[in-house]
Amino acid sequence: MSVSKLAAGGDPPRPKVPMKVIVASLPRTGTSSMKLALQQLGIHEIYHMTTYVDHPEDLELWSDAVNAKKDGKNITRAQWDQLLGNCQGICDAPAGYFAVELAQAYPEAKVVILNRDFEKWYTSISNTVQRVIRLRRKLHYLEMLLRPWMPARASAIIRLGNHISFSGVGFGDYSKEKTKKFFDDYYADCRKRIPSDRILEFKVQDGWGPLVKHLGTKPPGYETENGFVEAPFPRVNDTAAFGDRVAEIQRHSWLAIGKNMAVQALTLIGIVAIGGYVKGLIEIKPFW
């Protein structure tokens, strides 16, 4: 792309709403649980990896953001609004990789640094995200070949995922030592470059207390005759659920590729057949 969508103004900004919370987070740190928790607190339109999966048209803008970060270029608030103008929060990849840049672009937003013990996190990503990264890498050239028949969602996941990993903006299929360095560097950069008075250090095990205090709200729940009952903090998206979701996307994608290729093949056969029939009509000598 000679001129990026972000640099050129790209698509019109999405309807603007206040950015309330930026969750500085890596995948598999409890991001799905955190997203649900924020929604229960009335913070809606949270850009999460599932948001990107549902909006493959965001591929080019995110790719531009990856290039800008890799090259050390600034992304303005107006440019971020093209992607996040209708969001009140961000959590998980791809947005989480830009937590520092987003905290600078939206100084009014509260920041939550979502922590997890490295050993537990590494075990989790080894059985989930890094398997997907290895698969994406193998599909890099196959995706380019099959792109005309591949669902936009699957193509966008492969293309942006590989771009993030290959650029170093996000982690890749690293050794444990290199993965730990990426993990430590990510959190150190967030703590160094985001003012401490905006930050809550948080783990999903901490529950509602520190989170609602930081955001200035109240925990969700309901009143009973014995008083207020606090809702449990969400806990979702374990390793098995992650695997099921990836398998569903793969299954849907391969079925769609086969169907699209079959439709195109039948269309070509039909065109050839019609062409042959018309040619035969043209070559028939008039009998009058």
Please report the pLDDT score of residue 263 as a whole number. 63
Query: What integer is the mean pLDDT of 50-58?
Result: 94
The structure tokens listed for 206 are 């901490």
Q: Which residues of 28-50 are buried (b: 16+ CB within 10 A; e: fewer)?
A: bbbbbbbbbbbbebebebbbbbe
Would you say the C-alpha torsion 96, 98, 103, 106 has a positive or negative sign? Answer: negative
Q: Rounded to an integer, what is the distance from CA 217 to the centroid of its chain?
A: 27
Share of the chain above pLDDT 70, in %: 77
Nearest Cα neighbor of 31 from 188, 174, 241 is 241
Q: What is the DSSP letter of 199?
A: E
Whether the full predicted model's pTM is greater than 0.75, yes or no, is: yes
Beta-sheet strand order (sheet of 110-114): 46-47, 89-90, 21-24, 110-114, 199-202
Give per-residue pLDDT as tens, 128-186: 999 889 988 888 888 888 877 888 888 889 999 999 999 999 998 889 999 999 999 99
* Cα diameter, the chain: 100
CA atoms lying within 13 Å on the CB side of residue 90: 28
- pLDDT of residue 2 exceeding 50: no
Residue 104 has pLDDT above 60, yes or no: yes
Per-residue pLDDT tens digits for 251-277: 665 565 676 657 665 555 655 555 554
What per-residue confidence (pLDDT) applies to 287?
A: 43
* pLDDT tens digits for range 106-136: 999 999 999 999 999 999 999 999 988 998 8
Length of the chain: 288
* Residue-range domains of the chain with CATH: 5-283 (3.40.50.300)
Mean local confidence (pLDDT), 228-254: 74
Q: Which two tokens stand for residue 129?
A: 């995200």
CB 218 within 8 A of CB 212: yes
3-state secondary structure of 58: helix
Owner of token pair 């059985």:
127
Could you count the other beta carbons within 10 Å of the beta carbon of residue 154?
22
Q: How many CA atoms lie within 13 A of 99 on its CB side?
A: 31
Do 219 and 212 meet the contact criterion of CB atoms below 8 Å apart?
A: yes
Is the peptide bond preceding residue 151 cis, with omega within 30 degrees of 0? no
Quote helix, strand, coil % in the chain, to nearest 5: 60, 10, 30
CA distances from 279 to 28, 271, 274, 276, 285 (A): 61, 12, 8, 5, 12
Separation of alpha carbons 223 and 12, rounded Å:
44
Query: What pLDDT score was predicted for residue 1?
Result: 35
Contact 22, 112 (CB under 8 A): yes
